[in-house]
Amino acid sequence: MSEVLREAQQDFWRPPVAAVSEPLTLAVTAAPAMAEVCPQCRSEFLLGSRFCHTCGAVRPLAAVSQAESDAAEIAGMWERAVGQIHSVLTRCLEAAAAIELPGWLHYLHFHEIKRWIGLPTASLIAFVIGMSCVAGALLVGLLTAKTFVDWQAIQFYRAEWLLAATAAFVAGILLKRPSKPDGD
């Protein structure tokens, strides 16, 4: 039977015939310290293999000393940067806590506006979006037109802003909860 296949390719899990005479110094399992690419044929090693599945070469140990030192240096730089950012943010928060705000500023809080207008959260957000679209339509009017085509484009932009405002206001109306009758 061995005469039928005279020049069969070597399987990747068996060493090639030429490598049998050389002493094998391999790790028992493929560790992260093993090379990821075959130095002879440049194909990638299969997971956990000790030999190349393409050419049958022995999987060498990787040169990881430079890579490990680079990774450690980058990790150290990252930790220092995070520490510096943390200290800067801590100082900024302490400085912000020391600032005294005017008394009327509490009227601008979201929940205070929500209570004052009497809308639920979704409707209030839609109302704010609608008001900002109306402001956008007014600000588009500040553009100057030198030709009739420019004037038409500005009017088209204004119509788009007003259409968006209308959609936001309608969404606010649809998102508002129905009020309960007082007689119940």
pLDDT recorded at residue 169? 93
* Residue-wise pLDDT tens digits, 35-82: 678 888 888 878 778 888 888 888 877 655 566 677 778 888 889 999
Q: Does a structural domain hold residue 9?
A: yes
What is the token pair recorded at 137?
A: 């339509």
Identify the residue whose tokens are 């049998």.
20
Q: What is the DSSP string of 28-87?
A: SS--TTB-SB-TTT-PBPPTT-SB-TTT-PBPPBP--HHHHHHHHHHHHHHHHHHHHHHH
Structural domain containing residue 152: 104-175
pLDDT score recorded for residue 14:
62
| Distance, CA of 121 to CA of 143 (rounded, Å) | 34
Domain assignment present for residue 30? The answer is yes
Inside any domain, residue 184: no
DSSP-derived letter for residue 105 is G
Tokens standing for residue 39: 């130095």
Per-residue pLDDT of 138-171, as tens digits, reads 998 888 888 999 889 989 999 999 999 999 999 9
What is the overall mean pLDDT for the chain? 79
Would you call 38 exposed, middle or buried from its count of C-beta atoms within 10 A (0-12, 13-18, 19+)? buried
- The pLDDT of residue 84 is above 60: yes
Place of tokens 């992260």: 32
pTM: 0.42
181: in domain: no
152 and 112 in a common domain: yes
